[in-house]
């Protein structure tokens, strides 16, 4: 069975370079990752990377990066702060600013 994954699923190169990607519903994104982890198939074809026999490492990498960014946001927002400052601190923390 071949599985073409038509979701926004960031690849190693994107995660390593940018650290951030737009997710509309984080809860749903995590639920989708859970489903992908349990999916059976001989070949997986993520929409933005090469075909592979297993997507476990890609799923774990996506989950870890989204969790890392969320935790950073929670730390930044422990005190009242303007959106611009949140963005600046987040981009600084991942070395994009």
Q: What is the pLDDT of residues 40-57, one digit of tens each?
A: 888 887 766 777 788 888
Q: Please tell me the predicted confidence (pLDDT) of residue 3.
A: 54
Backbone CA torsion sign across 56, 16, 79, 84:
negative
E strands in 14-95: 43-46
Q: What is the pLDDT of residues 57-76, one digit of tens each?
A: 888 888 998 999 899 999 99
Looking at every residue in the chain, the average pLDDT score rounds to 82
Reported as a pLDDT band with limits 50, 70 and 90, residue 83 is: very high
């Amino acid at each position: 069975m071949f599985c073409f994954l038509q979701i926004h699923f960031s690849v190693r190169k994107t995660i390593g370079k940018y650290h951030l990607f737009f997710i509309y519903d984080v809860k749903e994104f995590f639920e989708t990752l859970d489903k992908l982890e349990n999916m059976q198939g001989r070949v997986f074809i993520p929409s933005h990377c090469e075909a592979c026999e297993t997507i476990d490492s890609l799923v774990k990498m996506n989950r870890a990066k989204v969790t890392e960014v969320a935790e950073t946001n929670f730390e930044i927002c422990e005190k009242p702060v303007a959106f611009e400052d949140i963005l600046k601190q987040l981009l600084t923390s991942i070395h994009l600013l």
